[in-house]
Amino acid sequence: MRTLTVALPGREYDILIQRGLLSQAGDRIRAVLPRAQKLAVVTDSNVKPLYGDMVLSSLAAAGFDCRLFPVPPGEESKNPYQLTALWEGFLDFGLTRTDGVVALGGGVVGDLAGFAAATVLRGVAFVQIPTTLLAQVDSSVGGKVAVDLDAGKNLAGAFHQPRLVLMDPDALDTLSLPVFMDGMAEVLKYGCIRDGAFFDFLTARPDREALTADIEHILYTCCDIKRQVVAEDELDTGARMVLNFGHTLGHAYELAGGYVEWTHGQAVAAGMCMAAKLGVALGVTPANVPGRIEAACACLGLPTSIPCTPEEYAAAIGLDKKGAGADITVILLDGIGRAVPCKLPKAGLLQQLEALL
């Protein structure tokens, strides 16, 4: 068992990493929710047949009254209508403020279930059981929960920290290769922003078999970096912005593909490559950095560029939550392992991007 503590005063919680942890979910959750009687378990229709019965059995053995709330897989489920359906379902189940919500699945399930937990009955306890690599290394930690609106992704949300994160590396064995590599984009991001030696460690393991052999170390390292950043800046107003390396431009690529053509990980990979080129153009990033990031992404089957028009860049930048008035904070690198926030006029950023097209 590897354990990390997210040290937020009054909202501390542990991240547990261990193979076989799914079958221990009941006892682990009972330890942090001793008064809870009911647990609403939100999952998707892909994860339900794989792990639904196992987790429900473990929860029942620990004395919880549980009900499964399956949602369709994919980003399309992260919407206000599905959120309303969960609220109504939770209340029909008889959920009270001493009970809790469990998210069993990937990032979409975690975001949706977490926002439902943050808002139903003005907030109930929430546990994350992430089953994808992307969710394990990123979205399950830090308390960002949200749904999408017609205007863009994650535009209605909250900060609602989980009470516990249970991370079972065995769940990754059922992922397809593209879904596994999708999560590797976020893994590479951690090396880019905080740990150059970790970036080198990853590039020395260019395939899934080699990465899986060291998956516990990979999960621990990513979560350790994220929990430190979250503890410094829970509400994403300063230091936490470094976690958005590749995301400002990645959101433009997701928008360009109508949120269906490119996955989040693919968009972030291309966003990191473009951000590195932008950093060189602005005199912040050393000239060799873009090539190193592109080589790492390409080796993992991730795109190094995605077609995007100036209009699509402008639309995404206008919606970016790191914007403040006419300016926006873009995360750049002054070396592999060293991220720096760079405040730019939005118009100036767009001019720089157009020059790089």
Helix axes 215-232, 177-194, angle to 10 degrees: 50
| The domain made up of 2-174 is a member of CATH 3.40.50.1970 | yes
What is the reported pLDDT for 220? 98
**What CATH code would you report for 177-356?**
1.20.1090.10
What is the reported pLDDT for 322? 62
Residue 321 predicted with pLDDT over 80: no
The 10s digit of each residue's pLDDT in 247-267 is: 999 999 998 898 889 999 999
* Cα 242 from Cα 239, distance rounded (Å): 6
What is the reported pLDDT for 259? 84
Host H or E run for residue 275: helix 264-281
Lowest mean pLDDT among 113-127, 152-166, 321-335: 321-335
Residue 325 predicted with pLDDT over 90: no
Q: Please state the rounded mean pLDDT for residues 233-260.
A: 91
Q: Please state the rounded mean pLDDT for residues 204-211.
A: 95
Q: Please state the rounded mean pLDDT for residues 209-238.
A: 95
Residue 107 predicted with pLDDT over 90: yes
Same fold: 2-174 with 177-356 = no
Lookup result for tokens 């008035």: 325
Residue 102 predicted with pLDDT over 70: yes
Domain ranges in the chain? 2-174, 177-356
What is the reported pLDDT for 238? 86
Lookup result for tokens 């990980």: 265
